[in-house]
Amino acid sequence: MSRILVTGGTGYIGSHTTVELMQQGYDVTIVDNLSNSSVDVLDGIESIVGRRPDFANIDCNNYVDLDGVFEQFADIVGAIHFAASKAVNESVEKPLLYYRNNLGSLITLLEVMREHQVHNLVFSSSCTVYGQPDAAHLPVDETAPIQKALSPYGNTKQINEEIIRDEAYADKHLNATILRYFNPIGAHPSALIGELPNGVPQNLLPYVTQTAAGIRKELKVFGNDYNTPDGSCIRDYIYVVDLAKAHVKAIDRMLNAKKRDQVEVFNLGTGHGISVLELINEFQNATGKKVPYSIVGRREGDIEQVWAEPRKANEVLGWKAETPIAEVLASAWKWEKHIRKIN
């Protein structure tokens, strides 16, 4: 059995990916400093899989600690690097924290991987690197131009991608897969793991589920005067379990493909854009729960519309996002009910 290091593995996407990796027979060692997750997530993973991942409570910026993990688990064959700070607003207020954490953790991981001759890295990037693609680049594929980041958070993703390319140029043994996620949503169908809310949600779906649960009075829809069919913004919402499966495909490919580019980039989305108002409607239909909302002004820095051209991931990784949106939204609601202990 091969072992994968999952940094940020008790987080939202990392925990779902750990489940899929273990269910496909991989051993997993999680490293996480629990800055944005709980150690209880390990119980959820164990309940789903029937095995517990190995876990080290360490900061990825700490070379000595990370080195110790590679010493202890000499069978690590690859790493998936989720560990990062991800709140866009906070990154505007605390840019240095974001540059230190998101750049430092990747650099440290690459140093330790090189030291231990672990040659396979999967990196969590974001569709934020495309900014607002022009009409000719919608749906957006991997060749669309990278645009100046709108936040320090977004900039860390761009710089991280450059660091990976530079290191791969310098070290021909290093294989890297950069995955650009669109908008991950939903929770494991068991409702044993999901997204843990931290304060007032900034992202749309956690706000929707909290409003449906009565925790928030109403959802504010940021703008209905965009140049889209119903005036609200369009995104490509991708089910977190589908997204997790793409990571397993990426690891399989790095370990098994006879021929691949040293650095490969994949867009991970469904290929379908839906608007904020459509998402609210779909949620109400899927769950029978009403979501009170009002239209307010635009949110500063919002992209009008972006959705993925996922063909490269479909064809090269052999991966496709297939879960119907109604099922995805129902999973998010089931999770919200689980954490709020409501029926």
Binding site for ligand WQD (CB under 6 A): 86, 88, 126, 128, 154, 183, 202-204, 207, 219-222, 233, 235, 276, 299, 302
Instruction: Indicate which of ligand NAD, ligand WQD, none lies near residue 59 (CB less than 5 to 8 Å, by partner kind).
Output: ligand NAD
- For residue 257, count other CB atoms closer than 10 A to its CB: 13
3-state secondary structure of 229: coil
Whole-angstrom Cα distance, residue 335 to residue 215?
14
Q: Which is nearer to ligand WQD, 179 or 276 (CB)?
A: 276
Element (H, E) at 17: helix 12-23
| Beta bridge partners of residue 275, listed in sequence order | 234
Angle, alpha carbons 60-152-125 (nearest 5°)? 60
CB of 82 to ligand NAD, least distance (A): 4
DSSP state of 35: S
Residue, CB closest to ligand NAD: 11
Interaction of residue 37 with ligand NAD, rule CB under 6 A: yes
Instruction: Indicate which of ligand WQD, ligand NAD, none lies near residue 221 (CB less than 5 to 8 Å, by partner kind).
Output: ligand WQD
Interacting residue with ligand NAD among 4, 5, 12, 45 (CB under 6 A)? 12
Question: Which residue reads 């449906």 in tokens?
Answer: 212
82-141 residues in contact with ligand NAD (CB under 6 A) are 82-86, 101, 105, 124, 126
Interacting residue with ligand NAD among 36, 147, 224, 284 (CB under 6 A)? 36
Instruction: Catalogue the active-site residues.
Output: 153
Element (H, E) at 76: strand 76-81
**C-alpha Rg value of the chain to the nearest Å:** 19
List residues binding ligand NAD (CB under 6 A). Answer: 7-8, 10-14, 31-37, 59-61, 82-86, 101, 105, 124, 126, 181, 184
